[in-house]
Chain A
Amino acid sequence: MAEMNVASGGGHKKGAKKVRGKKMSTRVDLTAMVDLGFLLITFFMLATTMNKPKTMEVNKPAKEEEEDKKKEPPIKMSKTATLMLGARNKLYAYVSPDEIDVNTELSLDSLDYSPGGLRKYIQRRQQEVKEQWGNQDELFVMIKPLPGSNVKNIVDVLDEMTISDVKRYAILEPNDPIDSLVAVMTGQSRK
Chain B
Amino acid sequence: MPKVKIPRKSTSVDMTAMCDVAFLLLTFFILTTKFRPTEAVQIDIPSSTARIPIPDTDIMMFQIGPDGRTFFGLSDQPTRLKLLDRLASTYNFPLSEEQKEAFRVMDIWGMDIRSLPDFLSKPPADRMNVQQPGLMIDTTGGQHQVEDLILFSRQENNKLRIAIKGDKKTEYRYFDKLIQALQNRKVNKFNLITSAKTSEE
- Residues on A lying within 8 angstroms of B by beta carbon are 1-2, 6-10, 25, 27, 29-31, 33-34, 37-38, 40-41, 44-45, 47-49, 51-63, 85, 87, 115, 145-156, 158-159, 162-163
Is the pair B188, A48 in contact by a Cβ cutoff of 8 Å? no
Pairs A–B under 8 Å by Cβ, sample size 10: A6-B7, A9-B7, A31-B15, A52-B54, A53-B194, A57-B191, A63-B184, A85-B172, A146-B172, A159-B50
Known: A8-B7, A48-B34. 9 other contacts (CB 8 A): A1-B16, A8-B8, A41-B29, A49-B35, A55-B50, A55-B193, A57-B192, A145-B176, A146-B172
Interface string of B39-80 (1 = CB under 8 A from A): 000000111111111100000000010000000000000000
Q: Is the CB of A54 within 8 A of B7?
A: no
Do A56 and B191 touch (CB < 8 A)? yes
**Chain B: residues with CB nearer than 8 A to chain A?**
5, 7-10, 12, 14-16, 18-19, 22-23, 25-26, 29-30, 32-36, 45-54, 64, 163, 165-173, 175-176, 179, 183-184, 186, 188-196, 200
CB–CB B48/A159 < 8 A? yes
- Residues of chain B contacted by A87 (CB below 8 angstroms): 171
Pairs A-B, 6 closest by C-beta atoms: A37-B22, A30-B15, A44-B29, A151-B166, A147-B173, A152-B168
Q: Which residues of B contact A63 (CB under 8 A)?
A: 183-184
Selected from A25, A37, A49, A151, the residue in CB contact (under 8 A) with B168 is A151
List the count of A-B residue pairs having beta carbons below 8 Å apart: 169
The smallest beta-carbon distance between B43 and chain A, in angstroms, is 10
Query: What residue in chain A is nearest B32 (Cβ atoms)?
Result: A48
Q: Which of B23, B163, B167, B188 contacts A60 (CB 8 A)?
A: B188
> Does B171 contact A41, Cβ atoms closer than 8 Å?
no
Q: How far is the CB of A31 from chain B (nearest CB, A)?
A: 6
Q: Min CB distance, A76 to chain B, in Å?
A: 24
Are A29 and B12 in contact, with the CB atoms below 8 A?
A: yes
> Do B176 and A147 have beta carbons less than 8 Å apart?
yes
